[in-house]
Each structure stands twice: as structure tokens, then as C-alpha cells.
Amino acid sequence: MPETPRRSRPSARRAAALWRRPRGHLLTEQRLAASRRLDSMSIAEAFTLINHEDARISRAVAAAKRDIVRAVKAVAHACEAGGRLFYVGAGTSGRLGVLDAAECPPTFMSSPEMVQAIIAGGERALVRAVEGAEDDAAAGAAEIRRRRVGSRDVVFGIATGGTTPYVHAALAEAARRGATTIFLACVTRRHVPRAADIDIRVLTGPEVLTGSTRMKAGLATKMALNTISTLAMVQLGKVYENLMVDLNSYACHKLIDRATRVVAMLTGLTYGAARRLLDRSHGGVKTALVMHHRQLSRPQAEAALRLVRGHVRRALHPTASRPDR
């Protein structure tokens, strides 16, 4: 496991009490001076303002690079060792965690158990707000116990405003059970103390619509989660060059076509020949590539991939050194 220093964590009682304090000092709750005339602006003016504020988000995410890179390493290491990644959030934060988790299996053919999402209020909170669920600290801790989180797992708490009791309690329970914990918030550490092994702060500032963290904070969260899950999957060998090579090529016509085109691009074969090679590999893009480039049978290619934990580059170039993670 990459070295991950344990940070001091607030007690579960302290975390659960955070929501009772006034929150007006938090960045996500402050008013944006530029939008104080929002209700009297023309639609075109308001659009320009929102678009201008959204343009700041990538810089805010970039400023958190060091901790985002640490998160990628921790997630990749855990998954490679058979652990799981759990996103935990409420409201918009929870829904974004669910979205990222749901998109991993079709994109990377990862097991649905590898990346999971926990949202305060359960499945009904995906389509309708369940007010008050975010304040239920006991439910957050209970869900971590129900999922049998352990020392091989990573629990990733998402709370743009930083104070969600459900998330803090889930992180505290995960830490108690030996899991690696990651926290993502859009407020400063000074205003909300560190609560995890890896503490990501993406400071997007006040929202155009005061307190509506589904806007800039939500966009920043999606950018961070996409980056972390994608780069973790790259580390796990789900990608070769910049192409998806671990996908369910028999799931639908789109994926059959994508898999065939990937094989054609990386082998120089015609589309039809690539499709026939893919059929011989039983739909496995990685297997097809190794079969072609190393002139191996399907069982031999599958064995070669197992030796390098599914990394195509290492299977095609066995003497190549691994990149520094």
C-alpha cells in the first residue's frame, strides 16, 4: 500500500454535531458579489455569468492535484489487492458518486462490486430529495457495517459543504474498521477539519445561486471523481494507449463496433478481419491483441495476460519496465 499517513479525525459525536453550527462562513454558503443582480439580469447576461464562473472550476481541481493523485494511487492499490471503492454522499454529492460507480462496469468491465456507491436515503434519494437523510449519522455508520467494509477497502466521502453527518459518520466507521478513507469537500480545512487519510479540497468559491452546490461544486466533484476512477482503472490495466480494451464486446451493437474498431486500429487489420479475430478471442479485446501480436492461441494469450495482471502493454512487451506510479 502506498504510504498514507493517518490523520487526526474528529470523533463521531463531533462530526454528527457539525451540522448544528451556523454555516454562513463556509465558501459554499457565501454570496457571490457578481450575481447579486441575478434575478434582474437578462438571460444572456446570466448565462455569461454562470459560464464565466464555471470556467474557474478546472483550475480549482488542478490546485488539488497532489491529493487527487494520492487518491488515484490508493484506489488502484486497493482494487488491485481485491479491495473495493465505496463512494458515500448525500444529495447531489451522493448522486454523483452513484453515477461514477454505475459507469465503471460498462466503461472498464469492472465488477459491479469493485466500485460501489452509498447515498443517504437509499435508492429513492436518486430520483427524489430525501430531506433529513444527510443528518442521520447512525445510518451512515450502519451502512458501512452492512457492506462489511474492511482493511482492504477505500471509503470515499463526498460532502461539498464539508459538514454532512452521514458522510462523516461513515468515514469514522470505515476508519475504525481499518479502511483507507478519502474526503472530498469544497470548503477549507480551517473551516472543516481534516477527517480522512487523504483530504481533497477543491475550492470553487461561492455559487452563482447562493448555497446551490449542484452548480460549481457539483461540476468540480464530477471532474474529480471522473479523473480518479479513470486513472485508477488505467493503473489496473483497463486501458491500452488511450483506448478501452476491457469492455463487454457482446453487450450491445455499440460496444461490438467499438471493440472491433479498437482491434482494427491496434493490429492494422481490416474491420472484417478484426471482427473475426475478436470472435476467436471469445470477445476479449486484450486477448485478441496478444493473440495477433505474439502469434499465440487464445489460451496462451489469456495465460500471458494473467501473468501481468491484465496489462496489455506488459503482455506485448514482457521486458518493459513498469511506469513509476
138 and 172 within one domain: yes
Dihedral angle sign, alpha carbons of residues 149, 66, 56, 58: negative
* Predicted confidence (pLDDT) per residue in 201-228, tens digit: 999 998 888 888 899 999 999 999 999 9
Whether 263 contacts 289, CB under 8 Å:
yes
The angle subtended at Cα 278 by Cα 275 and Cα 283, nearest 5°, is 125
More confident residue, 22 or 236: 236
Provide the CATH number for the domain around residue 247: 1.10.8.1080
308 and 166 within one domain: no
231 and 250 within one domain: no
Whether 28 contacts 192, CB under 8 Å:
no
* Predicted confidence (pLDDT) per residue in 1-50, tens digit: 444 444 444 444 554 455 566 655 666 666 888 889 998 999 999 999 99
Single out the residue of 88, 79, 153 nearest to residue 100, CA to CA.
Answer: 88
Domain end call among 181, 201, 235: 235
Q: Would 16 be classed as within a structural domain?
A: yes
Residue pointed to by grid coordinates 464486446:
249
Whether 100 contacts 110, CB under 8 Å:
no
Strand ranges, E, within the chain: 85-89, 115-119, 154-158, 180-185, 198-201, 239-240, 243-244
* Three-class SS state of 13: helix
Provide the CATH number for the domain around residue 183: 3.40.50.10490
Provide the residue range defining the domain that includes 182: 12-235
Whole-angstrom distance, CA of residue 113 vs CA of residue 83:
9
- What are the residue numbers of the active site? 103, 134
287 and 175 within one domain: no
Question: Exposed, middle or buried by CB within 10 Å (0-12, 13-18, 19+), for 69?
Answer: middle
Cα→Cα distances 75→61, 142, 187, 198, 323, Å: 18, 23, 23, 11, 17
Domain end call among 172, 206, 235: 235
Average pLDDT over residues 170-193: 94
211 and 69 within one domain: yes
260 and 231 within one domain: no
Q: Would 1 be classed as within a structural domain?
A: no
Q: Kindly report the average pLDDT of the chain as a whole number.
A: 89
Q: Would 226 be classed as within a structural domain?
A: yes
Taking residue 26's Cβ as centre, other Cβ atoms within 10 Å add up to 22
Quote the pTM value. Answer: 0.87
Q: Would 6 be classed as within a structural domain?
A: no
109 and 47 within one domain: yes
